[in-house]
Amino acid sequence: MEAFKLYYLKYYQRVYATCLLILKNYALAEEATQEAFLKAYTKLSTLKDQEKFGAWVAAIATKLSIDIYNQNKKLSLFKEEEVRQQYTEIWETPDNYEPCHKYIEKETNQEIRKAIYGLTPVLKQMVILKYYWNLTDPEIAEMLNIPVGTVKSSLYRARKLLEKKLTVIDRDYRKLI
């Protein structure tokens, strides 16, 4: 139990942030996170690689988050604006930038984050597991118990959507310079 507590304390924040990005609701995100750790605790013996504990719990959490999202999607999300700001507001910009470039850089970054934030829960799940938790496509497929092809096609769709958005952002900001 003590060892599990160490893992829990190490990964709680990141798993919670993962759920919050999908659910856009603090209470539901907490629920998904706690349930994910409970599931992880009971199924710990099935984890093949201890190094992947964080990603494994995150995969469980994203699955639960999507279930919770589907059950609650008709409800208006509480404090969603605050969550949106949490993920899209940019405070930091490099010091050595000219004020104009600094502004454009900040606005561009904000638009990119808004694009990620706006992805559907399933696409966000794939993007998070792939780019944040550094899982390979077969690993995602195994952890989510879905075919590798589904993972690849979801990631392809997510990339295409973000690429399209980035092209528009880039074009708009180039007009300003």
Tell me: does residue 174 bind another protein (CB under 8 A).
no
Tell me: does residue 161 bind another protein (CB under 8 A).
no
Q: x/- binding map, residues 82-111, to another protein, per CB under 8 A?
A: ----xx--xxxx-x-------------x--
Q: Which residue, 38, 29, 47, is CA-closest to 8? A: 38
Q: Contact, 36 vs 61, CB < 8 A?
A: yes
Count of chain residues binding another protein (CB under 8 A): 40
Nearer of residues 48 and 135 to another protein, judged by Cβ: 135
21-56 burial, b if ≥16 CB within 10 A, otherwise e? bbbbbbebbebbbbbbbeebeeeeeeeeeeebbbbb
Residue from 127, 135, 140, 143 in contact with another protein (CB under 8 A): 127
Q: Which of residues 14-53 bind another protein (CB under 8 A)?
A: 14, 16-18, 20-21, 27, 30, 34, 37-38, 41-42
Tell me: does residue 171 bind another protein (CB under 8 A).
no
Phi and psi of 16, rounded to 5°?
Answer: -65, -45
Least CB distance to another protein at residue 87 (A): 5
Chain residues binding another protein by CB under 8 A are 5, 8-9, 12-14, 16-18, 20-21, 27, 30, 34, 37-38, 41-42, 78-79, 86-87, 90-93, 95, 109, 112-113, 116-117, 127-128, 131-132, 159, 162-163, 166
